[in-house]
């Protein structure tokens, strides 16, 4: 592993990005605006960077705006003193707030010299030195951050991009890749972290140039392309790309992964975070870097970022809506000819139609176009227009989306509908401004049901396999599961996880061929960065160890559907802590199948409690296995033979002693008592263990081999009961009497006509008494174990969860969009 040469220990345990490859991190102006912001940046670098990474910075806060206004003042011959003083004061404040005394005084000296130089440029020839003047902001920002890294984290140097980055001219900003790459290789210093100025570069004659609006993002992707970086992260003040501008559309949802082509289209059509040029270096046909771009928040590093790159089918389903006002529809006969090609190359219009001699351009490009067409003496008509667009992978080929887009606009005046050449957008040109109301309406129509839910299934045994066998048909027929994607399968030692989704029809076969060894930490760390709106984990393991992971799952906001009874019957403290954590992080925790398999007993109790009823008694037969055994047992066939038949039918626990010991029933009674609002633990429930001591410490295999040791005891119990015209059943009883809880599970002798004695083998019966069901109890009865009913019950929980999650709205927190 690459060793980072640290002055202070970097905490790699928290380091999220892939090691061994270069990563580029770009911090925008608002992320570097104040000492507190810069401290945050330092901690991001500590967690996410390695020595060979590249850090690209914008100017601190609004420094570039201030430099620009100084330049304007100088051009118009106005007084500069106040603005100069403010500029110096802001920079000095950052230097003295962050650096130690020696470094602060060194940087303050350098700042003084720069200000003197700035004054000279402003008074001599501000027009000629515009780019040099604007470049100062990035130089100061890089110099300060590098000095701070030297003090706090590791050896670092700052690099002025004008020392290596060469473009053809300031208008086109096309990078001279071979020259820039060679220059960069010469400028880099080994074993130090580089902080590089964004936004600036030089032309072939060596003059300073700037890369235009949001040029630092472009600098970052240029560097990624020059260095074939694995990832570029734009650390900014928003936590990703949304399906519409969330300041205007509150229902906008974060897009977790975006194909390059779609992201480029978004940048072209007005997305406030992605800019037209940003993706160009990574997506040009010849670039071949395969770098992925991440848009992450420097204010909330825990929020999942948006990742842009090449992905499979699921990411291609993302849809968004974007708009641009202040456009002009240009009509000119001259644009029908070869002139159009030149103009298109120069202005990259939003839309062009050579046949009709029409273009759509930004209003700010009007002068440039007028100049270009003036030489031809042709008449030009400019009509103000706006556009609204649905953007998504090959969306123009999707007739359903086209229909919805048109429907949303049916009451608005539309000049025409057009597709982008690559078919990744459908654009409506409007003769009026796009209003927030319209944007919300179109967004609702296009994006309303597009939340993507990931599904991981842990436990692929008896019940897990049946759950998966039912899954394809469920996904096909249940509307609430429309956007559910199976992304992971996990057994005790192996896992198969595909972020782009597994084929549900061959998932089990694929698992046996492709699954690889994993650790719980691998699973948690994948879940930490999953790209779905919501992630649901279905726990169909019998494992206590696996249930210990719930704590981390809930920390991550993962939803859990459990057939596994361990967590729900854990100690009172653990159970309460898990419930609290799930509640705080908004994680759903459903476990209807932990008691009565698919029978709706947990739901019924929940409903009574939420409706204000009070439960006083719960009793019945809670074990499918014990029900099946005692309903069948007539002392003809040995008890141990019947037990093995129950095991083969998939109704027992993986180790049938869980059933025979009464522990499984004890857990179920505890789960129901908790659902009924009582706080108790397993120790509060008396439990009669039916497994003789001699069989208790054995392995499951050894137990099954020696199971005939059970036979004598059960034959005796059966015959004694029969002599009294009675029968034996394993019964759970919970009651609240004068404020005192009584709870126990044991073998009871029941009259033959007792309600608990006449069940279909394997049936459970739950008798619930409450204030509302006092004299005539509520009875729930039916199969309480088995593959189909348990897998069915898990599917019912899944649908319930999805119905809640599909409409869940995330609170969008934005610091503002720069
Ligand atoms: N049978 C029934 O009618 C009902 C069962 N349940 C519950 O369903 C659960 C599953 O039962 P069943 O299918 O019979 O059990 P099985 O023993 O048939 O299958 C268990 C599965 O869980 C996996 N597993 C075990 N430990 C771990 C672990 N630590 N991490 C990840 N995976 C693990 C196993 O992997 P590997 O193959 O590698 O060992 C196996 O795939 C149990 O909790 C049970 O109580 C609930 C209601 C009814
Ligand atoms: N082994 C259990 C299965 C369901 O929880 C039972 O028999 O009830």
Q: Phi/psi of residue 19, each to 5°?
A: -85, 175
Pocket test for ligand 1, best of 564, 648, 654, 764 (most atoms within 8 A of CB): 654
User: Quick one: 641 and 534 in the same domain?
Assistant: no
> In this structure, which ligand is nearest to the CA of 625?
2
Q: Which of the residue ranges 249-263, 659-673, 772-786 would you say has the lowest mean pLDDT?
A: 249-263
Atom of ligand 1 nearest to the CA of 463: 13
pLDDT per residue as tens digits for the range 612-646: 999 999 999 999 999 999 999 999 999 999 999 99
Q: Average pLDDT for residues 684-713, to the nearest whole number?
A: 97
Q: What angle do CA 246, 247, 252 make, to 5 degrees?
A: 15
pLDDT confidence of 5, banded at 50, 70, 90?
very low
3-state secondary structure 236-286: ECCCCEECCCCCCCCCCCEECEEEHHHHHHHHHCCCCCCCCCCCHHHHCCC
The residue count for the chain: 818
CB 429 within 8 A of CB 385: yes
What average pLDDT is seen over the chain? 92
What integer pLDDT is reported at residue 12 of this predicted model? Answer: 37
261, part of any domain: no
Give the CATH number for residue 507.
3.40.50.720
Q: How far is the C-alpha of 19 from the C-alpha of 28, rounded, in Å?
A: 24
pLDDT per residue as tens digits for the range 311-358: 988 889 899 999 999 999 999 988 887 777 777 777 889 988 888 889
pLDDT for 485 beyond 90: yes
Task: Enumerate residues 6+ apart whose C-beta is below 8 A from 106.
Answer: 147
Q: Phi/psi of residue 508, each to 5°?
A: -70, -40
Ligand 2-lining residues (CB < 6 angstroms): 597, 623-625, 651-653, 659, 664, 784-785
- The secondary structure element, H or E, covering residue 752 is none
pLDDT confidence of 288, banded at 50, 70, 90?
low
pLDDT per residue as tens digits for the range 564-592: 999 999 999 999 999 999 999 999 999 99
> In this structure, which ligand is nearest to the CA of 467?
1
Please report where in the chains the tokens 């990624």 appear, as a residue: 224
Give the CATH number for residue 714.
3.30.360.10
Q: Which whole-number Å values give the CA distances from 107 to 29, 94, 142, 187, 196, in the listed order?
A: 19, 11, 11, 22, 17
What integer pLDDT is reported at residue 20 of this predicted model? Answer: 57
Residue closest to 689 by CA, chosen among 657, 726, 723:
657
Give the other-Cβ count within 10 Å of 588's Cβ. Answer: 20
Whether ligand 1 lies within 6 angstroms of the CB of 792 is answered as no
Atom of ligand 1 nearest to the CA of 650: 1
457, part of any domain: yes
Give the other-Cβ count within 10 Å of 77's Cβ. Answer: 8
Q: Average pLDDT for residues 695-703, to the nearest whole number?
A: 97
Residue closest to 22 by CA, chosen among 240, 310, 223:
223
CA of 649 to the centre of ligand 2 (A): 11
Across the beta sheet with 200-203, the strand order is 166-167, 200-203, 208-210
- Which protein residue has the closest C-alpha to ligand 1 atom 24? 492
CB 428 within 8 A of CB 441: no
Q: Is the ipTM of this complex over 0.90?
A: yes
CA of 623 to the centre of ligand 2 (A): 5
Tokens of 595: 């008691």
Whether ligand 1 lies within 6 angstroms of the CB of 793 is answered as no
User: Quick one: 371 and 385 in the same domain?
Assistant: yes
690, part of any domain: yes
What integer pLDDT is reported at residue 284 of this predicted model? Answer: 75
Residue closest to 597 by CA, chosen among 755, 800, 782, 465:
782
Atom of ligand 1 nearest to the CA of 664: 45
What integer pLDDT is reported at residue 414 of this predicted model? Answer: 95
Tokens of 692: 């003789």
Instruction: Provide the percentage of residues in the chain whose pLDDT is more than 90.
Output: 78
How far, rounded to the nearest angstrom, does the alpha carbon of residue 301 sit from its chain's CA centroid?
13
Please report where in the chains the tokens 């854990």 appear, as a residue: 570
User: Quick one: 530 and 614 in the same domain?
Assistant: no
Q: How far is the C-alpha of 669 from the C-alpha of 567, rounded, in Å?
A: 14
Residue closest to 180 by CA, chosen among 136, 135, 222, 138:
222
Task: Enumerate residues 6+ apart whose C-beta is below 8 A from 484.
Answer: 453, 454, 455, 475, 536, 798, 802
Q: Are strands 200-203 and 208-210 parallel, antiparallel or unpaired?
A: antiparallel
pLDDT per residue as tens digits for the range 371-390: 888 777 778 899 999 999 99
> In this structure, which ligand is nearest to the CA of 620?
2
- Which protein residue has the closest C-alpha to ligand 2 atom 4? 785
Give the CATH number for residue 225.
3.40.1160.10
Task: Enumerate residues 6+ apart whose C-beta is below 8 A from 265.
Answer: 391, 420, 422, 424, 425
Which one of 395, 421, 447 terminates a domain?
Answer: 447
What integer pLDDT is reported at residue 345 of this predicted model? Answer: 78
Pocket test for ligand 2, best of 653, 658, 790 (most atoms within 8 A of CB): 653
274, part of any domain: no
pLDDT for 477 beyond 90: yes
Whether ligand 1 lies within 6 angstroms of the CB of 216 is answered as no
55, part of any domain: yes
Tokens of 205: 């004659």
Pocket test for ligand 1, best of 541, 622, 628, 782 (most atoms within 8 A of CB): 541
Which one of 412, 447, 482 terminates a domain?
Answer: 447
Torsion (CA) 525, 526, 532, 535 in degrees, nearest 10: -70
CB 587 within 8 A of CB 534: no
Instruction: Return the SS3 of 729.
Output: strand
Q: How many CA atoms lie within 13 Å of 117's alpha carbon, on the beta-carbon side?
A: 13
User: Quick one: 431 and 513 in the same domain?
Assistant: no
pLDDT for 601 beyond 60: yes
pLDDT per residue as tens digits for the range 185-200: 999 998 899 999 999 9
Q: What is the extent of the structural domain holding 413?
A: 319-447
| Category of 635 on φ-ψ map: left (φ > 0), alpha (ψ -120 to 50) or beta | left
What integer pLDDT is reported at residue 15 of this predicted model? Answer: 44
Q: How far is the C-alpha of 265 from the C-alpha of 252, rounded, in Å?
A: 18
Higher-pLDDT residue of 814 and 527 is: 527
Which one of 420, 447, 474 terminates a domain?
Answer: 447
Q: Is 503 exposed, middle or buried (0-12, 13-18, 19+ CB in 10 A)?
A: exposed
Task: Enumerate residues 6+ apart whose C-beta is below 8 A from 65.
Answer: none
Atom of ligand 2 nearest to the CA of 595: 5
Instruction: Provide the percentage of residues in the chain whose pLDDT is more than 70.
Output: 95
What integer pLDDT is reported at residue 306 of this predicted model? Answer: 94
Atom of ligand 1 nearest to the CA of 542: 43
Which residue blocks in 100-189 are alpha helix, DSSP H?
101-124, 130-152, 177-187
Give the other-Cβ count within 10 Å of 683's Cβ. Answer: 11
Higher-pLDDT residue of 221 and 7 is: 221
Q: Which whole-number Å values give the CA distances from 11 to 6, 15, 19, 56, in the listed order?
A: 10, 7, 13, 22
What integer pLDDT is reported at residue 292 of this predicted model? Answer: 93
User: Quick one: 696 and 583 in the same domain?
Assistant: no
User: Quick one: 153 and 218 in the same domain?
Assistant: yes
> In this structure, which ligand is nearest to the CA of 568?
1
Q: Is the dihedral of CA 686, 690, 693, 697 positive or negative?
A: negative
Residue closest to 591 by CA, chosen among 537, 553, 548:
537
- The secondary structure element, H or E, covering residue 318 is none
Which residue blocks in 596-691 are alpha helix, DSSP H?
601-610, 624-632, 639-648, 657-660, 663-675
Q: Average pLDDT for residues 745-760, to the nearest whole number?
A: 96
289, part of any domain: no
- Which protein residue has the closest C-alpha to ligand 1 atom 33? 492
pLDDT per residue as tens digits for the range 548-568: 999 999 999 999 999 999 999
Q: What residues pair up with 494 in beta bridges, in sequence order? A: 517
Please report where in the chains the tokens 């048109």 appear, as a residue: 406
Whether ligand 1 lies within 6 angstroms of the CB of 520 is answered as no
User: Quick one: 779 and 702 in the same domain?
Assistant: yes
What integer pLDDT is reported at residue 809 of this predicted model? Answer: 60
53, part of any domain: yes
Q: How far is the C-alpha of 253 from the C-alpha of 736, rounded, in Å?
A: 48
Q: How far is the C-alpha of 791 from the C-alpha of 796, rounded, in Å?
A: 9
Whether ligand 1 lies within 6 angstroms of the CB of 463 is answered as yes
> In this structure, which ligand is nearest to the CA of 593?
1
Atom of ligand 2 nearest to the CA of 625: 7
User: Quick one: 620 and 531 in the same domain?
Assistant: no
User: Quick one: 410 and 508 in the same domain?
Assistant: no
What integer pLDDT is reported at residue 378 of this predicted model? Answer: 77
User: Quick one: 475 and 411 in the same domain?
Assistant: no
pLDDT confidence of 393, banded at 50, 70, 90?
very high
Number of domains in the chain: 4
User: Quick one: 31 and 174 in the same domain?
Assistant: yes
Catalytic residues: 668
How far, rounded to the nearest angstrom, does the alpha carbon of residue 98 sit from its chain's CA centroid?
34
pLDDT for 394 beyond 80: yes
pLDDT per residue as tens digits for the range 110-161: 999 999 999 999 999 999 999 999 999 999 999 999 999 999 999 999 999 9
Whether ligand 1 lies within 6 angstroms of the CB of 466 is answered as no
- Which protein residue has the closest C-alpha to ligand 2 atom 3? 785
Give the CATH number for residue 349.
3.30.2130.10
Please report where in the chains the tokens 């609006």 appear, as a residue: 213
Whether ligand 1 lies within 6 angstroms of the CB of 343 is answered as no
Whether ligand 1 lies within 6 angstroms of the CB of 541 is answered as yes
What integer pLDDT is reported at residue 816 of this predicted model? Answer: 41
178-198 burial string, b = 16+ CB within 10 Å, else e? eebbebbeebbeeebbbbbbb
- Which protein residue has the closest C-alpha to ligand 1 atom 28? 492
Residue closest to 555 by CA, chosen among 541, 537, 542:
537
What integer pLDDT is reported at residue 287 of this predicted model? Answer: 55
CA of 534 to the centre of ligand 1 (A): 24
CB 661 within 8 A of CB 690: yes
CA of 233 to the centre of ligand 1 (A): 41
pTM of the entire predicted model? 0.79
CA of 521 to the centre of ligand 1 (A): 20
Whether ligand 1 lies within 6 angstroms of the CB of 457 is answered as no
Whether ligand 1 lies within 6 angstroms of the CB of 512 is answered as no
106, part of any domain: no
Pocket test for ligand 1, best of 488, 489, 492, 627 (most atoms within 8 A of CB): 492
Whether ligand 1 lies within 6 angstroms of the CB of 557 is answered as no
Which residue blocks in 454-495 are alpha helix, DSSP H?
462-477
Tokens of 171: 């208008």
CB 639 within 8 A of CB 799: no
Q: What residues pair up with 618 in beta bridges, in sequence order? A: 734, 768
pLDDT per residue as tens digits for the range 498-545: 998 999 999 999 999 999 999 999 999 999 989 898 999 999 999 999
Atom of ligand 2 nearest to the CA of 594: 5
Residue closest to 222 by CA, chosen among 241, 238, 198, 239:
198
Please report where in the chains the tokens 């029941």 appear, as a residue: 750
Whether ligand 1 lies within 6 angstroms of the CB of 744 is answered as no
Task: Enumerate residues 6+ apart whose C-beta is below 8 A from 377.
Answer: none
User: Quick one: 608 and 740 in the same domain?
Assistant: yes
What integer pLDDT is reported at residue 112 of this predicted model? Answer: 97
Task: Enumerate residues 6+ apart whose C-beta is below 8 A from 241.
Answer: 254, 255, 258, 263, 266, 271, 273, 274, 295, 306, 308, 320
Atom of ligand 2 nearest to the CA of 623: 8
């Amino acid at each position: 592993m690459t060793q980072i040469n640290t002055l202070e220990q970097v905490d790699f345990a928290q380091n999220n990005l892939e090691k061994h490859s270069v990563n580029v991190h770009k911090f925008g102006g608002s992320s570097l605006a104040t000492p507190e912001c810069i401290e945050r940046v330092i901690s991001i670098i500590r967690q996410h960077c390695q020595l060979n990474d590249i850090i690209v910075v914008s100017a601190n806060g609004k420094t570039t705006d201030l430099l620009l206004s100084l330049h304007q003042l100088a051009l118009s011959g106005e007084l500069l003193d106040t603005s100069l003083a403010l500029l110096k004061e802001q920079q000095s404040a950052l230097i003295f707030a962050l650096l130690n005394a020696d470094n602060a005084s060194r940087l303050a000296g350098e700042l003084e010299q720069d200000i003197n130089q700035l004054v000279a440029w402003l008074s001599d020839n501000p027009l000629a030195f515009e780019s040099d003047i604007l470049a100062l902001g990035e130089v100061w920002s890089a110099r300060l951050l590098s000095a701070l890294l030297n003090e706090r984290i590791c050896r670092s140097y700052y690099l002025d991009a004008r020392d290596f980055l060469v473009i053809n001219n300031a208008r086109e900003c096309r990078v001279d890749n071979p020259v820039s790459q060679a220059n960069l290789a010469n400028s880099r210093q080994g074993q130090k972290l580089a902080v590089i100025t964004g936004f600036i570069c030089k032309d072939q004659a060596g003059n300073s140039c700037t890369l235009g609006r949001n040029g630092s993002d472009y600098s970052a992707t240029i560097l990624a392309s020059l260095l074939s970086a694995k990832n570029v992260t734009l650390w900014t003040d928003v936590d990703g790309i949304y399906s519409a501008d969330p300041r205007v559309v509150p229902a906008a949802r974060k897009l977790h992964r975006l194909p390059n082509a779609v992201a480029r289209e978004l940048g072209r059509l007005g997305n406030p975070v992605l800019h037209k040029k940003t993706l160009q270096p990574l997506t040009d046909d010849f670039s071949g870097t395969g770098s992925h771009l991440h848009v992450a928040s420097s204010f909330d590093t825990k929020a999942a970022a948006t990742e842009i790159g090449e992905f499979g089918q699921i990411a291609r389903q993302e849809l968004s809506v974007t708009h641009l006002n202040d456009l002009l529809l240009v009509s000119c006969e001259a644009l029908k000819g070869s002139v159009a090609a030149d103009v298109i190359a120069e202005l990259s219009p939003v839309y062009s139609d050579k046949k009709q001699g029409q273009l759509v351009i930004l209003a700010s490009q009007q002068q440039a176009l007028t100049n270009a067409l003036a030489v031809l003496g042709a008449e030009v008509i400019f009509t103000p227009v706006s556009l609204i667009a649905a953007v998504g992978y090959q969306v123009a080929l999707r007739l359903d989306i086209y229909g919805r887009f048109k429907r949303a606009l049916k009451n608005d005046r539309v000049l025409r509908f057009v597709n982008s050449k690559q078919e990744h957008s459908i654009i409506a040109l409007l003769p009026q401004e796009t209003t927030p109301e319209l944007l919300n309406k179109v967004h609702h129509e296009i994006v309303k049901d597009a939340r993507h839910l990931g599904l991981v299934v842990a436990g692929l045994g008896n019940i897990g396999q049946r759950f998966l066998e039912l899954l394809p048909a469920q996904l096909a027929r249940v509307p609430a599961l429309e956007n559910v994607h199976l992304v992971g399968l996990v057994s005790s030692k192996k896992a198969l996880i595909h972020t782009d989704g597994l084929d549900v029809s061959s998932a089990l076969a694929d698992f046996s061929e492709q699954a690889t060894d994993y650790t719980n930490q691998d699973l948690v760390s994948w879940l930490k960065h999953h790209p779905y709106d919501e992630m649901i984990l279905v726990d169909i393991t019998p494992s206590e160890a696996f249930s210990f992971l719930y704590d981390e799952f809930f920390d991550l906001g993962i939803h859990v559907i459990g057939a596994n009874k361990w967590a729900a019957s854990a100690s009172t403290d653990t159970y309460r802590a898990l419930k609290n954590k799930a509640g705080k992080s908004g994680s759903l925790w459903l476990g209807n199948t932990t008691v009565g398999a698919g029978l709706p007993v947990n739901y019924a109790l929940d409903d009574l409690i939420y409706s204000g009823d009070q439960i006083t008694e719960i009793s019945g037969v809670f074990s499918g296995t014990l029900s099946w055994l005692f309903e069948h047992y007539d002392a003809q066939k040995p008890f141990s033979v019947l037990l093995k038949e129950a095991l083969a039918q998939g109704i027992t626990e993986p180790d049938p002693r869980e059933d025979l010991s009464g522990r499984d029933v004890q857990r179920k009674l505890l789960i129901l008592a908790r659902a009924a609002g009582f706080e108790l633990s397993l120790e509060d429930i008396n439990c009669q263990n039916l497994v003789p001591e001699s069989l208790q410490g054995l392995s499951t295999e050894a137990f099954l081999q020696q199971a005939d040791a059970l036979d004598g005891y059960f034959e005796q119990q059966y015959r004694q009961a029969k002599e009294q015209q009675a029968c034996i059943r394993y019964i759970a009883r919970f009651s609240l009497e004068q404020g005192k809880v009584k709870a126990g599970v044991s073998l009871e002798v029941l009259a033959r006509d007792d309600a608990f004695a006449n069940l279909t083998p394997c049936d459970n019966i739950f008798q619930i008494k409450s204030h509302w069901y006092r004299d005539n109890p509520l009875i729930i009865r039916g199969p309480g174990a088995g593959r189909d009913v348990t897998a069915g019950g898990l599917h019912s929980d899944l649908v319930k969860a999805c119905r809640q999650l599909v409409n869940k709205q995330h609170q969008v927190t934005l610091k503002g969009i720069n």
